[in-house]
Amino acid sequence: MNPGGLPDIPFRPTLPELLHRAAERFGDDDFVVLWERRISFAGAERASAALAKQLLAAGVGKGTRIGIVLPTGIDWVVAWLASARIGAMPMLFPATYRPAELRRALRISDAALLFAGRTLLGKDFEAFLEEAVPGLADGHGRPLRDPEVPYLREIWMVGGSDRSWATSVEPDEPAAITDELLANVEAEVSPADPLLVIYTSGSSADPKAVVHTHGAAIRKVQAHLGMCLPGSFPGRTFCAMPFFWVGGPQELLGALHCGAAIVTQERFEVGGCLDLLERERCTSILGWATVLDQVRAHPTFPSRDLSALTLPQPGAAMVSSKGDPPNLGMTETFGPHANRAWFDYNVIDLETGDPVPDGQEGEFCVRGFGLMAGMYKKEREEVFDADGWYHTGDRGYLEDGRIWFRGRYSEVVKTGGANVSPLEVERVLGSFADVSMAFVFGMPDAARGEVVAAAVIPAKGAAIDVEDLRERVNNVLSAYKVPTRWLVLDEDDMPWLGSGKPDKRALRDL
């Protein structure tokens, strides 16, 4: 293994090069398909070129931070392609965010421009944005200059808007940018430039922003490297993962390589998923285990014509000799990392930092070409050690050259494939007047891996209504971060360690 090496690729690995090749090779074949809309490879190239010209005409350039908070679907894809093909830095914000979460992400990201739509996951998103950025409702118009999001200047609304703060995006609006200028801009996009920044929960209360470059991400999704999701292989893949997390972009880039169609929904719904699987003759499906279980359990599943589809067999998941699941991949490695020719593994003793023998548990460390370039606003020394290793915080061991997962050393909760920061949830709970102290941690769960649990101590004289507390947290944080198991304790009953820290192991037992 040469962690400094790069796999061969037959073209310059940048998004504009990959997109042009896909449009030429696959033309009018389906690229992205929803129930009522679809776009071809050539159509995606044309639509993103038109939007890219509008961005250039508005002064967007190399490195401009562009936030994207749109539904999973065609508008999301066109906004991302348009931003990336001119060398801007797309910031992928989860559509599940609540207003306070989006406001914090806008501040952390330094986004100068935000792509949004009038509705998102059934919400009136114009009103949502006015709650997220309080200065919008004051009607100051454009450019925006709100101290809470000091870099934000424009909000481009796909589908149009009559708000004074909004710039309406019209798909076919001409821009004073020639084809020659666009081509020359694209030629200056480098494999070393950021292709996307994915926001996910870390150990701190603020989200961590994982940066991947054009060169690394585009090389990594080549099917022959064996680290790919189904979209990197010809066929029609139903993608149940949202586009704003790592599985979505990996599927889209893989499809641009091979011509696969990516079939999806704005929000996963099992009946609609089965309709699409059947109508589109899908050959594969990408989703967490809970998604596959829902598909199989649906009452219409036995009567559907899914003869084109290959579903993983129930109970077919690989386990080690100790019965543990493999560590398949993560946001930081742009998905799967199973090819040891391109990813190097190390398992170390947490106290000494020394490697441990195969089969012995320790902290999983990884490095290689497909590892993230870094984290936004983090110095390199905060992310990697002196030898280039990323210390994941995952607890595991090596067996037969594969890393097997046993849990986490850090307190990050992994639930249904998503990361949750206990500190972020504790901060919200602690802001309520009826809560004196709150402690958040993960609890094992057969379906989701872990679920979020919270132990709360009422303020003096207060009584905790758990359902009310749950609803208030849900108003501030994305639904997957809201605790589903609760424990209300008197302060005298709270278990503490000798160090003065809460005994979370004892809390789990309680």
User: What confidence score (pLDDT) does residue 346 get?
Assistant: 95
Full-model pTM:
0.88
CA neighbours closer than 13 Å in the CB half-sphere of residue 482: 17
Distance between CA atoms of 52 and 46, rounded to whole angstroms? 10
Better pLDDT: 192 or 498: 192
Pairing type for strands 154-158 and 113-117 reads parallel
Tokens of 314: 């129930």
User: What confidence score (pLDDT) does residue 498 get?
Assistant: 61
| In contact, 426 and 436? CB cutoff 8 Å | no
| In contact, 405 and 326? CB cutoff 8 Å | yes
User: What confidence score (pLDDT) does residue 506 get?
Assistant: 83
Taking Cα atoms as reference points, which of 91, 314, 348 lies closest to residue 200?
91
What percent of the chain shows pLDDT beyond 70?
96
Pairing type for strands 362-368 and 485-488 reads unpaired
User: What confidence score (pLDDT) does residue 503 get?
Assistant: 78
Whether the pLDDT of residue 368 is over 50: the answer is yes
Tokens of 78: 């066109």
Whether the pLDDT of residue 408 is over 90: the answer is no
Q: What is the pLDDT of residues 432-444, one digit of tens each?
A: 989 988 889 888 8
Q: Exposure pattern of 486-500 as b/e (b: 16+ CB <10 Å)? A: ebbbeeeebeeeeee
- DSSP secondary structure, 75-113, as one string: HHHHHHHHHHHTT-EEEE--TT--HHHHHHHHHHHT-SE
Q: What is the pLDDT of residues 61-101, one digit of tens each?
A: 999 999 999 999 999 999 999 999 999 999 999 999 999 99
- DSSP secondary structure, 231-291, as one string: GGSSSEEEE-S-TTSTHHHHHHHHHHHH--EEEE-SS--HHHHHHHHHHTT--EEE--HHH
* Mean pLDDT for the chain overall: 91
User: What confidence score (pLDDT) does residue 2 get?
Assistant: 43
Task: Give just the sign of the alpha carbon dihedral 479, 483, 484, 490.
Answer: negative
Pairing type for strands 329-330 and 261-264 reads unpaired
User: What confidence score (pLDDT) does residue 147 get?
Assistant: 92
Average pLDDT over residues 99-126: 95
Q: What is the pLDDT of residues 264-296, one digit of tens each?
A: 999 999 999 999 999 999 999 998 878 888 999
Q: How far is CA 108 from the centre of its chain?
A: 16
Place of tokens 């940066």: 211
Whether the pLDDT of residue 55 is over 60: the answer is yes
**Domains along the chain with CATH numbers:** 17-189 (3.40.50.980), 231-249+256-301 (no CATH), 329-408 (2.30.38.10), 413-509 (3.30.300.30)
Pairing type for strands 329-330 and 335-336 reads antiparallel
H or E element, residue 200: strand 194-200
Better pLDDT: 134 or 103: 103
Q: Exposure pattern of 287-303 as b/e (b: 16+ CB <10 Å)? A: bbbebbebbeeeeeeee
